[in-house]
Structure 1
């Protein structure tokens, strides 16, 4: 099966923005492969989502070594999907991966040591069938590894031609500032900082966003829909096929509390008044900040992906709407 990309893929379907102080532009919406691209998922639907994303201007595909499930299979499946595209399509894509969480048994399959990061990146490249990734992230801060060692490994990945840029993810503010300083001294400045950001998860507003901006580092938010809670999916209970219904999932039933559902219902009313879905409004809300370059959406169907991309077609918020949203979010 050969995929022929749409010739109109860059015709006003997507907005692009400079990532920090670099020359790299990111689409405002990126496609994440955290869920729904593993071996337990529908491969044909995964192909359709990647093709639709690319045909609509999404050039950034975000992965990690442990995405699946099982771990590693999201990279392997994305590598297979890439084979369906013309070879020169690779130069139109930003492909990122990460290392930092448990991947294989023993003392060298977890953490942020040079041993683990370098081995993991080599494994990722083999699964992806690529010579390099565009962005290689340290997926988390590891207190058991000196920060200099972790940052040195990232810098060497660039020098070895295995990555074009480096980033960090889920680092506390103090270690973030140290990491920026070390990477800059190494001659491989941090391109991008990735962290959780949504209406219901705003911790990065307490220092991370400002630190990234002041140091010329881009910011990209994951889970902008709070794993689906910021959609109409949970307004009337927990559906059987939802993430919260799965006992082994990252989203637990207790996170879909009556208090959260009440907030989401009030937010949904504002979205309906704007003639858009709650998911679309939640994405727009994240992107309202000039400190946020892109958000990563994770979709399980073509319909969800279409809905998310269409969030860019709505007018910006009025001051009154932003005030109403803040009032709801600040309710105890």
Structure 2
């Protein structure tokens, strides 16, 4: 249960927004609410909710684009992978395995892919974006099992795809960030596929929804604690916020974060997920792991995609590229 801000006097007022972001916030919230309710299609929302066409993804013919149906988890329907590969690569390329956001309840494998296509252009990498079944129609463990099945297929078919299975980077934002974190735990515990690094952007990690930042930002900005409770409730049902939640559903529940790949976590200071993201980084460090954490002052949830031309958004994207250059040895 989320604590009310009025009942905990130790918690201060909401964290202020970056002024440049604040100027766009009302319009962003209105568009996102219309998208989530089905009133407008994804291509009418700027930034991370854009659903790019194959032509746009091809980057003037520099990338090939295909949708491929691959085996889902045992006994489950096939899943769709959006596969974008650089044309003319002679050597196996790195691959970014992307899991989309949408609060566990919305989106498809084109949602948010533009953010990782910038990395593909920089590093000559392939992108594989997975379409998983959504809650509440498919509760846990369906979504994470779909994401894992897509990763396993990608690794097993690396030679055909022209990718280097030793350079698989998993990445996602929001719900996709939470599923990416769960994917790294699941791959570790099942003995593969090997993951070279994980990028968790404003990740949705903790179903308990009771951190200071969740309380501070209730009723404000993009994806507040009430929306968060609805998303987790769709995924977990009555198990949400009880002792019966798996770390493969809510990675903040994990008690052992050892053995994970190098990790980048970034989050805004003025969003629900701030404190669970910071805590997750702390647990990786506690376990002796490697994690770089960025808390961007005044950022609301998904700001870098929703207000892409703001100075803080440009700095955020550049910081990710710098980290990936070190990881990939570029």
TM range (shorter): 0.3 to 0.5
Q: Normalising by the residue count of structure 1, what TM-score does the alignment of the two structures yield?
A: 0.36
Q: Which has the larger radius of gyration?
A: 1
